Amino acid sequence: MSYDAKVVYELRNLSGAGVMECKKALEETNGDMEKACELLRKKGIETAAKKQSRSAEQGLIGSYVHTDGKIGVLVEVNCETDFVARTEEFVNFVKELTLQIAAQAPRWVAIEEVPEDIRKEEEKIYQAQLSESGKPEAVQKKIVEGKLNKFYQANCLLEQEYIRDGDKKIKDLLVETIAKVGENIIIKRFVRLKLGEE
């Protein structure tokens, strides 16, 4: 079954996908706009996951200084081409990251960057808290894992809840942006300065 151009373009505007992809998605979902959007989103995320292995040497350094002048952020975000670095989607993504970092004060970009000594110290603290609990060792281990995950969510940018949408993490926003721009994106590094902080 064929769908008229108006419906196809409506889906294109909603999803950001190409015209042919939108036509196929409408055919696969029998014209159900919501299901077609979901299908395109899933395909976009799968494609984005494949793109995450490609090298990214271009990009932007984004900056943000809070209105009171007491918090400042610089973040380096890389992509594959200078063309994408100038697109509205990429620029907005970098801007959102600066706001996220200013508001949530992460210490690292990803879990892999957390130094081993800090991770072990956190683990030791959680184990000490549970040592007198009388809970079985397997249960204690699960609780320590849960507390470590909470530590990562508070301190690693990619694991944090997105300040504009609590149902989404920054790593989800990253994958969505990769799907939209069609290139790999890497959040390379950031620095957050707060007046008077060591």
Predicted TM-score (pTM) of the model is 0.71
Q: What does the pLDDT average to over 48-55?
A: 57
The answer to whether 165 touches 120, Cβ cutoff 8 Å, is no
Structure tokens given for 125: 């603290």
Each domain of the chain, given as residue ranges in start order, spans: 5-51, 58-110+156-194, 115-154
Question: The domain 5-51: what is its CATH number?
Answer: 1.10.8.10
R_g of the chain, CA atoms, integer Å: 21
pLDDT band (50, 70, 90) for residue 55: low
Q: Which residue has the higher pLDDT, 48 or 7?
A: 7
The arrangement of secondary structure in 58-110+156-194, i.e. its CATH architecture, is 2-Layer Sandwich (3.30)
